[in-house]
Chain A
């Protein structure tokens, strides 16, 4: 079961790579730099979805006090943070040629950075060494509160002064189909990747808890 899941994921990710490199059209002016978008946006989407799971798991833990939910939250938070970190790296790589500078202090970038920093705090907190159930409780609460940043990230494009916005993502559906279908496939592939990673990480966390006699 496990191995077939990995092989399936590998096939999907490789086809995604082929589709990004060979099947997507070159956009004038941006050329290859534009193709970073097929990595950047799906990573952000999968990362936010992962944080959504952290919030759900947080509520699950608060209501049931089962460590199982804490493990889901922990695994999802870790994967979300890896993905958000990659978003914060691929973004500036794209921006360097296109905007001429890697970073501008515009609302979406700031709110995403804030999200990353909140979760960095979440992991520091998990490692301070208080007892297991207490960590789970505090993590659940932080996971729920931290999720509030995600609607802010989405709304940030409309929220603050329009003239400082550099994000053109409104109206994605108006893109020509040559861009839209590989993009949707990439979304699908990265969602798959996220779910497989979640599954593997939860298994590892379960075994770790078992070793420490928490299960």
Chain B
């Protein structure tokens, strides 16, 4: 039975990576200013 788990994980991973990198970048900027 195919349950499409990999599609969900892909979406979750992309959302997580983008938002997490955004936070890292901005916290880094905040510290440098």
Interface residues of A (CB under 8 A from B): 17, 30-33, 35-36, 39-40, 43, 82, 85-86, 89-90, 93-94, 96-97, 193, 197, 200-201, 203-204, 207-208, 210-211
Contact B30 A200 (CB under 8 A): yes
26 A-B residue pairs with Cβ-Cβ distance under 8 Å, sorted by A, are: A30-B4, A31-B2, A31-B3, A31-B5, A32-B4, A33-B7, A36-B7, A36-B8, A36-B11, A82-B19, A86-B14, A89-B11, A93-B7, A93-B11, A94-B7, A193-B19, A197-B23, A200-B23, A200-B27, A204-B29, A204-B30, A204-B33, A207-B30, A207-B33, A208-B29, A210-B33
The distance from the CB of B6 to the nearest CB of chain A, in whole angstroms, is: 8
DSSP class of B's interface residues: helix, strand, loop or mixed? helix
| Chain A neighbourhood of B23, CB < 8 A | 197, 200
Contact B15 A90 (CB under 8 A): yes
Please count the residue pairs between chain A and chain B whose beta carbons lie under 8 angstroms apart in the complex: 65
DSSP class of A's interface residues: helix, strand, loop or mixed? helix
Contact A32 B19 (CB under 8 A): no
In chain A, what residue has the closest Cβ to B27?
A200
**From A32, A203, A210, contact of B3 by CB (8 A):** A32
Top 9 closest pairs, chain A to chain B, by CB: A207-B33, A33-B4, A32-B8, A31-B3, A90-B11, A32-B5, A32-B4, A36-B11, A93-B11
Task: State A209–B3 Cα separation when bound (angstroms).
Answer: 50
Contact A203 B11 (CB under 8 A): no
